[in-house]
Amino acid sequence: MARIEGKVTLRVSTDGETVREVTVIEGQPLLAKAAQQNVRTWRFETHPATSFDTVFTFHLVPQAGCGPLHSNGQVVLTLPEKVDITAAVVNLGGCDPEEGLDLSEPLKVFLTACEVDGASLPCDDITIRLVNRGMEISPERFKLPDGRQGFIVPAVLRNAAKFGIVVRTSRGTFSVIDENVSFLKGNWRLAIDHAPFQEEWRYLAHGERCFGLIEFQWGEPETLVRVPCHKP
């Protein structure tokens, strides 16, 4: 996110099973902090206490355009000596963040995926209600010949500043309120996850047993909204 790349060299000391001390020999401070945090999680087979150097290399690979990143990056481990991290980065100079969006009338939101606990389910099985000034509106749903589907943005929301949405499935319900109306376009991914959580979302748990997600899959960076969910 900070668009920083470079090399970090660390001196690692162990007590025979875990990391006892991590010292930065060289490297950009922000990258060095991330590398240190990662190394402190390492565990080893039992061995005589020792010290060694390890090198983290952070690479940025340019991606043209403003749309979503096509790769989540790659990590290559050659442990314990080397860790290579590669991430894609979008060049934002002079580009249109809405390039590629279908902004034709009537304005539509396209549902690219609907998921519960990591498994896909038909978006038709999800009930969507849009909220405006305390009223719930059932938007018109559509399915195009090419397979794309979603809902049409109601005219009453075009001049609103904020909107809310209620998503109901057989496995849970969640609500998002006070979202900027500018997000009522483009591609959305809807998901509900319960403990034990999918690897992709585990870091969002924060002690809760269920949460709902809306991923606005356009612009840079993409926006993820996460809220608690409730059993039906």
**Residue 86 shares a structural domain with residue 116:** no
Do 56 and 83 meet the contact criterion of CB atoms below 8 Å apart?
Answer: yes
Is the backbone of residue 227 left (phi > 0), alpha (psi -120 to 50) or beta?
beta
**Residue 40 shares a structural domain with residue 128:** no
pLDDT at position 205, please?
79
pLDDT at position 35, please?
95
Phi, psi angles (nearest 5°) of residue 166:
-115, 125
**Residue 224 shares a structural domain with residue 137:** yes
pLDDT in tens, 40-65: 999 999 999 999 999 999 998 876 55
**Residue 126 shares a structural domain with residue 67:** no
Do 216 and 186 meet the contact criterion of CB atoms below 8 Å apart?
Answer: yes
More confident position, 158 or 7: 7
**Residue 96 covered by a domain:** no
Domain count, the chain: 2
**C-beta atoms surrounding 191 within 10 Å:** 25
pLDDT in tens, 175-220: 998 888 888 999 999 999 998 888 777 778 778 899 999 998 875 5
Residue 175 CA to its chain's centroid (Å): 19
Per the structure, the complete domain to which residue 216 belongs is given by 108-228
pLDDT at position 53, please?
97
